[in-house]
């Protein structure tokens, strides 16, 4: 069985509260996993997050590991793809001239279009009338940082984007307390998660975390060959990782405190890539 979670405000779902997806907020993910756990007891799962979803998932795993919650007991492993590790460095990267032209401006427009969709609803507009900030200010943003500062931060209870980015950024979190295998796939040329923003030294001290860094791949790219067709590296890694986790679990060999066997099985082909 597979289950997916749509981020707040996306996927054509009308907002019922003046609240959108926030990289620092793990509440919704915690609810979804708890719900699945109650509906499918004793069913094991592998959880994956891409880009912003990877930030939310990693923050969730850190939080659950720190409080020693049993909510992750049935999670065999997790994977994050093209996840920004430091939102300050990600923002700085996106504001470089070329990245600003190719990515930042386009993404800002996409975010504004999502906001416009919700503002077209009389019900949503009525909800926003008593807010202590102008929700329409997001429409005047020219960069993602400005959009976050004017809308996402205050909507999520933060003073500004600096406070928001500090709360969401991963390299300051207790990654070593993550108690399930976590496989991370990033590309060194990802403008949203530049190679220098990845905390390699910190990750090397996390027994349950493995980082796979490719030279190329961009942001959620990882295509293969001159004329890419079919599954790319991302899909291959996720499939082999999931198969390795369930194989060890079915054979009674699964141990979340020892992940070498899992990572060895799913990434042996990387040496030839």
Q: Is residue 190 annotated as part of the catalytic site, yes or no? A: yes
Q: What are the φ and ψ backbone dihedral angles of 61, each rounded to 5 degrees?
A: -65, -40
Q: Is 171 a catalytic residue?
A: no
Q: Please tell me which residue in 91, 93, 219, 256 is annotated as part of the active site.
A: 219
Report helix, strand or coil for 13. Answer: coil
Backbone angles phi, psi at 77, to 5 degrees: -175, 170
Q: Is 69 a catalytic residue?
A: no
Residue 42: other Cβ atoms inside 10 A:
7
Burial of 105 (0-12, 13-18, 19+ CB in 10 A): middle
Longest distance between any two alpha carbons in the chain, whole Å: 58
Q: What is the C-alpha to C-alpha distance for residues 81 and 220, in angstroms, rounded to an integer? A: 7
Closest CA to 257 of 203, 184, 208, 202: 208
CA pair distance 113, 123, nearest whole angstrom: 18
Catalytic residue among 156, 190, 197, 256: 190
Among the listed residues 51, 91, 141, 156, the single catalytic one is 51
Number of other CB atoms surrounding residue 180 within 10 Å: 22
Sheet holding 182-187, edge to edge: 45-50, 75-81, 182-187, 209-214
Active site positions, annotated: 51, 190, 219
């Amino acid at each position: 069985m597979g289950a997916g979670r749509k981020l707040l405000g996306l996927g054509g779902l009308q907002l019922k509260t003046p609240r959108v997806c926030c990289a620092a907020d793990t509440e919704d993910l915690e609810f979804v996993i708890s719900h699945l756990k109650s509906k499918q007891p004793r069913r094991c799962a592998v959880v994956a997050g891409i880009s912003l979803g990877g930030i939310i998932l990693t923050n969730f795993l850190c939080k659950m590991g720190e409080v020693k919650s049993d909510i992750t007991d049935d999670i065999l492993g997790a994977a994050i793809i093209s996840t920004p590790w430091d939102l300050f460095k990600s923002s700085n990267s996106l504001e470089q001239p070329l990245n600003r032209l190719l990515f930042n401006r386009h993404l800002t427009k996409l975010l504004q279009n999502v906001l416009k969709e919700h503002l077209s609803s009389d019900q949503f507009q009525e909800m926003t009338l008593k807010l202590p900030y102008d929700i329409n200010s997001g429409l005047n943003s020219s960069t993602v940082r400005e959009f976050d500062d004017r809308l996402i931060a205050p909507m999520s209870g933060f003073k500004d984007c600096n406070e928001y980015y500090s709360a969401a950024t991963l390299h300051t979190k207790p990654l070593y307390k993550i108690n399930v295998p976590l496989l991370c796939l990033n590309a060194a040329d990802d403008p949203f998660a530049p190679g220098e923003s990845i905390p390699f030294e910190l990750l090397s001290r996390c027994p349950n975390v493995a980082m796979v860094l490719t030279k190329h791949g961009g942001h959620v790219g990882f295509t293969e060959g001159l004329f890419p067709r079919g599954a790319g590296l991302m899909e291959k890694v996720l499939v082999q990782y999931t198969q390795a986790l369930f194989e060890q679990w079915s054979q009674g060999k699964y141990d979340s405190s020892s992940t070498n066997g899992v990572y060895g099985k799913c990434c042996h082909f990387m040496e030839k890539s």
